[in-house]
C-alpha cells in the first residue's frame, strides 16, 4: 500500500513537469511557425500555439506549488500560502454545504452574479445561451463552425479559482492584425474544442484547467439562430441584429424564437434543473440572453416540474432595442409569454438611487431606469425583494456581486434551508463564521 501511494505521488509530480515540457514545446512550435511562414492562417496558429504553451506552463507551476504546500501540510509543517486554515475550512465546510444553484442566462449580467455566488456554494451550474452571432464569438462561429464561446468563457472565468494574471490573459483582446478585437480566451476554448470530442467536453476541460467552482453548460449543442418578430410583423434574424434593430427598423419586440424550432437541450441541463434548490433567471439581456434558454425544448417543462425556489433578477436599466420603456412587471410578463405563467416565485430589483450624471449618460444612449410598478407586480402574485443592489464600475451601472449574492442566499435560507432547521442552522453558522455574508 505504501509503495502504491509513493508511486501515485511520484506520477503526480512528473505529470506537472511533463505539462511544463509540453508547454515549452508548444511555445517553440509557435515561434518556429511564425518565423518560417507569413500567411494569415499560419500566423493565427503560431499565436495560438504560443499562448497555449504559456497557459500550460503557468497552470503547471501553480499546481506544483499547490502539491508542495499540501505535502508539507500533511507532514505537520505550517506553510504560509495564499489561503490560511480558516479559508481551507471555509471551502470544505461551507461551499460543499451550499445549495444547488442553477443560474440561467448569458452575457455580462450572468457572469457578474456568478462571481458573488461562488463565494456561497460550490454546487453551481451556469446554463448559458449559445445564440450569440456577433463580435469575436460570431467570427469563430462562422469560421470554425463551433458554438459561440464568448458568454461561456465569461462564466468559466467568473467561477474560476485562478490567478489574476491568468484571468487577465484569457480576457485579453488583440489590438492589431487579423486577430484585432478577438479574445484570447475565445481562441483557447476554440483550440480546446479542436482536441475534444465535443464542445461540451471542451468546456469541461477548460473548466478543469481553471479550477472552476461548479460547472458551466451550454443550454444546447445545436447550431441555433435567434429571431425576433416585432409588433408590426417585421422579422429580424440574428442575435446581434436584434439589439441594434432601432437603427434600421424602430419597433417594439413582440416575441423571439429559435431557428430551427425544435432544439434538443443538453441532458445535464435538464438534470441540473431537476435537482436544483434554487433557479435564478438573469440578470442580463431579456430577449437575447435569458429567454433564448427558455425556448430550448424541455427547459421550461423542467423548470415547471422543479421544486426549486425560482428567482428573477431584474435589470437595473432598460436596454435600447430590447426593453425600451419596460417596467419590472413588463420584464416578468415577457418571461411568462415565452414560458409559462408563474415561472418565478421572487423578483429581485434595485431601488437605490442612481447618480444624475450617470442617468444622463445612459439617457443619451436611450436607456432609462427600470420602473418599479408595484400595482402591476401585485397582480402577478410574485413576491418582491427590492433594495440597493448596484455598484458603479468604470462609469457603468452594474449589479453588486456581493449584495446580489447575499440577497439570493437570504431567500434560499428562508425558503429552502428553512424547511430543514438543522441544515439551515449549520449553513448559516458557517456562513457567519467565515464570510459574514448573512448577519
**Residues 412 and 333 grouped into a single domain:** yes
- Alpha-carbon torsion angle 26, 29, 30, 31, nearest 10: 120
Does pLDDT of 268 surpass 90? Answer: yes
Does pLDDT of 81 surpass 50? Answer: no
Does pLDDT of 348 surpass 80? Answer: yes
Question: Is residue 160 domain-resident?
Answer: no
Average pLDDT over residues 37-59: 69
Question: Is residue 424 domain-resident?
Answer: yes
State whether the Cα torsion 177-178-183-185 is positive or negative: negative
Does pLDDT of 432 surpass 70? Answer: no
Banded pLDDT at 37 (limits 50, 70, 90): low
Domain range for 417 is 95-129+219-434
Banded pLDDT at 166 (limits 50, 70, 90): confident
Helix then strand count (H, E) for the chain reads: 18, 12
Q: What is the pLDDT of residue 431?
A: 60
Q: Record the cell numbers describing residue 300, joined without a space.
A: 421550461
Q: Which of 24, 51, 82 is the last residue of a domain?
A: 82
Q: Record the cell numbers describing residue 325, joined without a space.
A: 420603456
Q: What is the pLDDT of residue 82?
A: 37
**Residues 8 and 99 grouped into a single domain:** no
Of 29-33, 202-206, 250-254, 285-289, minimum mean pLDDT range: 29-33
**Residues 271 and 338 grouped into a single domain:** yes
**Residues 325 and 228 grouped into a single domain:** yes
Q: What is the pLDDT of residue 4?
A: 46
Q: What is the pLDDT of residue 165?
A: 81
Does pLDDT of 15 surpass 90? Answer: no
Does pLDDT of 387 surpass 50? Answer: yes
Contact of 354 with 400, CB cutoff 8 Å: no
Banded pLDDT at 390 (limits 50, 70, 90): very high
Continuous segment of H or E residues that includes residue 105: strand 101-105
pTM, to two decimals: 0.82
**Residues 341 and 385 grouped into a single domain:** yes
Chain mean pLDDT for the chain: 85
Question: Is residue 26 domain-resident?
Answer: yes
**Residues 311 and 429 grouped into a single domain:** yes
Question: Is residue 88 domain-resident?
Answer: no
Q: What is the pLDDT of residue 438?
A: 45
Question: Is residue 12 domain-resident?
Answer: yes
Average pLDDT over residues 367-391: 97
Q: Tell me if residue 348 falls in helix, strand or coil.
A: strand
Does pLDDT of 248 surpass 70? Answer: yes
Question: What total number of domains does the chain contain?
Answer: 2
CB count within 10 Å of CB 96 equals: 11
Banded pLDDT at 369 (limits 50, 70, 90): very high
Q: Which of 82, 110, 144 is the last residue of a domain?
A: 82
Q: Which of 20, 49, 82 is the last residue of a domain?
A: 82
Average pLDDT over residues 92-99: 80
**Residues 365 and 259 grouped into a single domain:** yes
Higher pLDDT, 26 or 13: 26
Amino acid at each position: 500500500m505504501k509503495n502504491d501511494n509513493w508511486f501515485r505521488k511520484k506520477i503526480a509530480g512528473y505529470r506537472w513537469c511533463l505539462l511544463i515540457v509540453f508547454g515549452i514545446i508548444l511555445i517553440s512550435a509557435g515561434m518556429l511557425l511564425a518565423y518560417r511562414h507569413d500567411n494569415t492562417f499560419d500566423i493565427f496558429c503560431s499565436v495560438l500555439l504560443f499562448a497555449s504553451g504559456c497557459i500550460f506552463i503557468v497552470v503547471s507551476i501553480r499546481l506544483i506549488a499547490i502539491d508542495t504546500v499540501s505535502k508539507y501540510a500533511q507532514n505537520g509543517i505550517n506553510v504560509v500560502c495564499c489561503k490560511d486554515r480558516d479559508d481551507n475550512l471555509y471551502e470544505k465546510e461551507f461551499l460543499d454545504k451550499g445549495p444547488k444553484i442553477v443560474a440561467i442566462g448569458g452575457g455580462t449580467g450572468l457572469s457578474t452574479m456568478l462571481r458573488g455566488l461562488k463565494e456561497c456554494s460550490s454546487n453551481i451550474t451556469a446554463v448559458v445561451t449559445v445564440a450569440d452571432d456577433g463580435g469575436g464569438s460570431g467570427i469563430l462561429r462562422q469560421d470554425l463552425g463551433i458554438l459561440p464561446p464568448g458568454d461561456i468563457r465569461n462564466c468559466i472565468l467568473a467561477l474560476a479559482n485562478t490567478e489574476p494574471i491568468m484571468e487577465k490573459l484569457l480576457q485579453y483582446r488583440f489590438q492589431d492584425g487579423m486577430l484585432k478585437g478577438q479574445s484570447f480566451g475565445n481562441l483557447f476554448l476554440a483550440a480546446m474544442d479542436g482536441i475534444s470530442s465535443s464542445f461540451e467536453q471542451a468546456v469541461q476541460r477548460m473548466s478543469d484547467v481553471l479550477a472552476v467552482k461548479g460547472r458551466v453548460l451550454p443550454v444546447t449543442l445545436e447550431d441555433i439562430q435567434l429571431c425576433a418578430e416585432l409588433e408590426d410583423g417585421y422579422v429580424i434574424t440574428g442575435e446581434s441584429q436584434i439589439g441594434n434593430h432601432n437603427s434600421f427598423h424602430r419597433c417594439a419586440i413582440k416575441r423571439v424564437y429559435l431557428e430551427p424550432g425544435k432544439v434538443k437541450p443538453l441532458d445535464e441541463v435538464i438534470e441540473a434543473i431537476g435537482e436544483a434548490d434554487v433557479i435564478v433567471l438573469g440578470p442580463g439581456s431579456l430577449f437575447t440572453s435569458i429567454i433564448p434558454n427558455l425556448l430550448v425544448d424541455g427547459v421550461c417543462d423542467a423548470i415547471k416540474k422543479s421544486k426549486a425556489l425560482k428567482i428573477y433578477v431584474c435589470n437595473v436599466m432598460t436596454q435600447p432595442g430590447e426593453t425600451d420603456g419596460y417596467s419590472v412587471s413588463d420584464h416578468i410578463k415577457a418571461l411568462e409569454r415565452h414560458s409559462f405563467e408563474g415561472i418565478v416565485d421572487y423578483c429581485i430589483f434595485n431601488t437605490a438611487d442612481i447618480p444624475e450624471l450617470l442617468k444622463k449618460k445612459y439617457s443619451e444612449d436611450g436607456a432609462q431606469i427600470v420602473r418599479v410598478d408595484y400595482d402591476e407586480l401585485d397582480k402577478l402574485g410574485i413576491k418582491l425583494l427590492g433594495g440597493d443592489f448596484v455598484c458603479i464600475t468604470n462609469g457603468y451601472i452594474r449589479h453588486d456581486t456581493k449584495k446580489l449574492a447575499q440577497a439570493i442566499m437570504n431567500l434560499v435560507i428562508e425558503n429552502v434551508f428553512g424547511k430543514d432547521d438543522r441544515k439551515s442552522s449549520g449553513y448559516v453558522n458557517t456562513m457567519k463564521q467565515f464570510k459574514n455574508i448573512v448577519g
